[in-house]
Structure 1
C-alpha cells in the first residue's frame, strides 16, 4: 500500500479555454431561447395585420400559402420553446449546442417566410401597402438584432436569409414589371439600400454579441474567483485548526516531562541522599524534552522551507553500521535482535537527512516490537534503491495506516506509545517528500510492519561537474 505523505491541499484549478468557451456558448444559447418569445409574439401580432392589409391587392393563392406557412412555423417554434424549457433548460454545454444545431433550420425558414410580403406586394400593391409591408419587414429585421444576436451563427443565418428573401422579391418583381418607367432605377436603389441595411445590421449584431459574450466571460471569471477564494478560505481555516491542534498536542506532551522534571527536582532538594536514584529519571525527562524540541524544530524548518539539503556521496554500509551501533543497546534492552543487510554501495544523498529518516523508522520499529527483531536492509528494484525496515511488532490496523503520519498521532491501544511523541513518522514523511523519495507501508495487525523508502533514479543523478566523494552540494 502506497502511503500519501503529503498534506491535503485545496487548490482551485482554472478551467481550460475549451470549458470556458462551452460554458459561455451554453449561456448565450439560453439568452437566445429566452428572447425567442418576444420575437414570436411580434410575428403573431403582425401576421393577421399584414394578411388583412394585403388581401384584395395581391394574388390570393400566394397570400394564403404564405399566411398558412407562417402560421405553421409560428406554432412549431412556440412548441420548440416548450421543448427547450422541458428538456434542455436545466442542461448545459454540448446538449444545448446539439439542440440548436438540430433546430437551427427553423430560424432560416422563418426568415425566408418574412420576405414573402415584399415578394407579394412590390410593384403589385398600392404604394401605401408596399410601404407598410416593407416597413414591417425591416422592423422585424431590427427586432432580430436584439432577439438573436446573443448567438452569432443563428443571427447571421437569420439576417442573411431575410435580406436574401427580400432581395429576391425585389429583383423578381423588377424583372416582371421591367416595362414600367423607372422600375429598374428604383429596384437598383432599393437593392443598394437593402445591402447597406444588411451590412449595418450584421455589424450591430456582431457588437451586441460581443457585449453578451463579454458579460458571460466576466461572469465565468467571477465565479472562478469566488470558487478559488472559497477553497483558499477553507484551506486557511483547516490550517488554523491544524496548527491549533498541533500546539495543543505539543503543549500537552511538553507539560508531562516538565512536570516530572519539577517533581524530581523538588524530591532531590528535599532528599539529597536519593540523588543516585533520581538522577537517571531527571536525565530521562531532559532527554524527552530535548527530543520533543528537536522534532518541533525539524517540523518547523521543513514547513518553512528552511531545511537545507546537502547532497554528497554516502557509504551505505557505514551508515548502517552507525545506525546499528546507535540502536543496538535499545534492542538488547528489550531482548530483540537488530540486523542490517546491504551490499557495498555508495549513493548520492544527504547523510543527515537519510540518517534521520532511517533512525526514526528504526526507533518506531523497536518501540512497537516486543519479541522477534528488526531488520534494516537495502534492495535494488527496477532501477530504484529501496531502504526497508522490517519488524515483528504489533503491526498497524488498516484504519490507522494513513493517520500515523499525522502530528502527535498515537494508536491508544498499542503498548510502547506511552512515551512516544507521535512525531517520528511525521518527520519521516516530510523528509522523504523533501528529498523526492517515496514512502510506503505494508502492515498487518499483530504480525508486524515494513516501511519502504524508495529512492527513484533521478534522485541519484549527480549534477554536471559533481564534487569528489566527501564534498557537499547544497540544494
Structure 2
C-alpha cells in the first residue's frame, strides 16, 4: 500500500521571488545607502565632537568675547544630538523594514542642512575683528577640509549629501561676503578668495554627485547579486525537493500500479482457462484498465502543462450541454455503486455559453466527478450550474467522506492523498492537480469546501467576460 501522505512539492521559487519583489529594488538600495552613511558616522562621533571643541577654541582665541563660546555650545549640542540620533537608528530603525529605513534617511535632510549652515556661518564670528583677513584664511582652510571630508561620509546618500553641501557652502559664501563687506578695505586677494570659494562650492557638488553615483552603482550591483544568489539557492532547494518528491512518487506509483496490472494479468489467465467467466471478469478488467489509464492520462496532462505544450483552443461551449454530457458519461459508474446522480441548472444560465476550450472543461469536470464518485459510498453526486451571467460557476457536490480542514489547502498539490484514503483504488493524487492547472489555462478558478463525514463541493468560477447568452448549438 502507498504511504498515507505522498510527497508534496514545495511552493515554486517564483512565488517567493514575487513576495521579495514587493519591495522595489530602489527602496532596498536606498535603505542600504542610509545604513552605510549612518554606520560611517557612528565611527566619527567623538572626532566630530573634538573638532567642534577645538574649532570653537580657535574662534575664541582669534576673536574673544561671548560669540565663539555661544557658537561652540551650539556646535557641541548639535554633536550630542547626532550621537543620540545615531543611537536611535542603531537600536530601533535598523530593526525596521527597508521602506522605514529609507524614509528615516529622507527625513534627515533638514538636520543635515542645519548642521551644514552651522559650520558655514562660523565665519561671521570674525566680522569686525582685528586681523580678520588672516583669521579668515585659517578658518577657510579648516572648513575646506571639513567640507571635503563630508563628501567621503555622506556620498552614499544623495539627499543628505546635497542638503549638507549646499547649506554648508552657501552659508560659507554668504558669511565670507558679509565679513568682506565689514572690512574697511578689501584687497583684490579677498575678492579672488570669494571666487575660489564659489568654485569650491561647485567642486563639492560635482565631486559629491560623482561619488554618489559610484556608491549607488556598487550598492545596486551588490543588492542584485544578493537577490540572484538567494534566487539560485531557492531554486536549487526547490529542484532538490522536486526531484526527491518525484523519486518517492515513482516508488509509490510503481508499487501501486502493480495492483491493477497484476489484476489484469490474473483476469486474462482466468479467461484463458475458463472463457465462460467473461461476464463476471469483464467489469473487473474494465475497472483495472481504467485505473491505469487514469494515471497515464493525468501524467501526460501534467507533462504537457509543465512543458507549456498544452494551450486552450477557445470556442463557444453551452454550459448546460457540458453538464448533460458529463451526466451521461458518469451514469454507468454511479449505477455500479448504487449512487444517485442529479443535475441542476439555474434558469438564468439555461442558454449560457462560455468561450473556452471544450476538451479542457470536460477534463476538469471529468476529474472532479470521478473524484466525487470514488470517495462517495452512499447518497449521490450533484452537478450544478449556478450564479448569473456576470458570475457563473459550475459545482460538483458529493455526499462522500469529506476532507479534513487542515488538508483542504493541500488537495491541489501533486501526489497528495488524504490521510483517510490510501491505495490505487483511491487514485494517485494527480487528478485535482490537473484540474487546477487546466483551470488556470482556461482563466477559471477552483475552490473547495468540505466537511468530514458529510461530503465536499468543488466550485469552478468562470471568467465573466467569456460568458454570454445564446442557445445556438456549438
The TM-score, its normalising length taken from structure 2, stands at 0.79
Instruction: Provide the residue aligned with 2:79 in structure 1.
Output: 78
> 1:387, 1:131 → 2: CA distance?
86
How far apart in 1 are the matches of 2:178 and 2:132? 20
1:247 to 247, 250, 254: 250
Q: Does 1:386 align with 2:393?
A: yes
Does the C-alpha gap of structure 1 residues 136 and 450 become closer, same or farther in structure 2, counting only changes over 3 Å? closer
**CA-CA distance at 1:83 after TM superposition:** 0.1
Alignment of 1:201-216 (within 5 A): 201-216=204-219
Equivalent of 1:106 in 111, 115, 129? 115
Unpaired stretches in structure 2, ≥5 consecutive residues: 1-8, 94-100
- 153-162 or 273-282, which deviates more: 273-282
- Structure 1 unaligned regions, length at least 5: 1-5, 55-61, 463-467, 471-475
Residue 297 of structure 1 and its aligned partner are, at CA, apart by: 0.9
**Partner Cα distance (1:96, 1:329) in 2:** 71
Cα distance change of structure 1 residues 104 and 402 upon mapping to structure 2, 3 Å threshold: same
Mark the CA change 1:7 to 1:451 in structure 2 (over 3 Å): closer, same or farther.
farther
Compare CA radii of gyration and give the structure with the larger one.
1
Counterpart of 1:312 (choices 310, 315, 321) is: 315
In the other structure, the counterpart of 1:156 is 166
Deviation sequence 1:69-122 (CA, Å, 0-9, x none): 2321342133123202321234222234335535642331232114534x355x
Indicate yes or no: 2:365 matched with 1:358. Answer: yes
Q: Distance in 2 between matches of 1:250 and 1:272?
A: 31
Instruction: Map 1:86-101 to 2 at 5 A.
Output: 86-90=87-91, 91=93, 92-99=101-108, 101=110
Task: For residue 404 of structure 1, give the secondary structure of its aligned residue in structure 2.
Answer: coil
Deviation at 1:68, TM superposition (A): 0.7
Counterparts in 2 of 1:115 and 1:146: CA distance versus 1, 3 Å: farther
Asked whether the 8 Å contact 2:155–2:209 carries over to 1, the reply is yes
Task: Give the Cα–Cα distance (whole angstroms) in 2 for the partners of residues 351 and 69 of structure 1.
Answer: 86
Deviation at 1:268, TM superposition (A): 7.1
Give the whole-Å Cα distance in 2 for the aligned partners of 1:354 and 1:312.
11
Deviations 1:352-374 (A, max 9, x none): 22222222222211222222221
What is residue 434 of structure 2 aligned with on the other side?
427
Residues 194 and 391 from structure 1, CA distance in 2 versus in 1: closer, same or farther, beyond 3 angstroms? Answer: closer
When residues 16 and 130 of structure 1 are mapped into structure 2, their CA distance, relative to the original with a 3 A threshold, is closer
Contact residue 394 and residue 414 of structure 1 kept, 8 A:
no
Q: What is the correspondence of 1:280-359 to structure 2 with a 5 Å cutoff? A: 281-342=284-345, 344-345=350-351, 347=353, 348-359=355-366
- Report Cα offsets for 1:212-234 as digits up to 9, x if no partner: 44443333333443444344334
* 1:367–1:416 CA contact under 8 A, matched in 2: no
Q: Secondary structure at the match of 2:13?
A: coil
Name the CA shift for 1:120/1:314 in 2 (closer, same or farther; >3 Å). Answer: same
**Mapped partners of 1:149, 1:155: distance in 2:** 10
Query: Would the aligned equivalents of 1:361 and 1:428 in 2 still touch at CA under 8 Å?
Result: yes
SS across alignment from 2:400: coil
Distance change in 2, residues 1:333/1:415 (3 Å) = farther
**Offset of 1:50 from its aligned partner?**
5.6
Query: Which range moves more in the overlay, 415-424 or 392-401?
Result: 415-424
Correspondent of 1:125 among 114, 126, 131: 131
| CA offsets 1:119-167 (integer angstroms, 9 cap, x no match) | 355xx22986665455444444444444555522112211221222122
Is the CA contact 1:28–1:213 (under 8 Å) kept in the aligned structure 2? no
CA contact 1:39–1:144 (8 Å) conserved in 2: no
Q: Distance in 2 between matches of 1:104 and 1:34?
A: 19
Counterpart-to-counterpart distance in 2, 1:312 and 1:335: 36
Mapped to 2, the partners of 1:399 and 1:274 lie a distance apart of 50
Query: What is the CA–CA distance in structure 1 between the aligned matches of 2:36 and 2:312, rounded to whole Å?
Result: 54
Note if contact 1:88-1:96 (Cα within 8 Å) is conserved in structure 2: no
- Contact 1:315/1:346 (CA < 8 Å) preserved in 2? yes
| Count of residues in correspondence between the two structures | 441
* 1:57 equivalent in structure 2: none
| Greater CA drift, 383-392 or 24-33 | 24-33
Pick one of 437, 440, 449 that aligns with 1:442.
449
Match of 1:3 in 2: none
TM-score normalised by length of structure 1? 0.79
State the Cα RMSD in Å.
3.5
Specify the alignment match of 1:465 in structure 2.
none
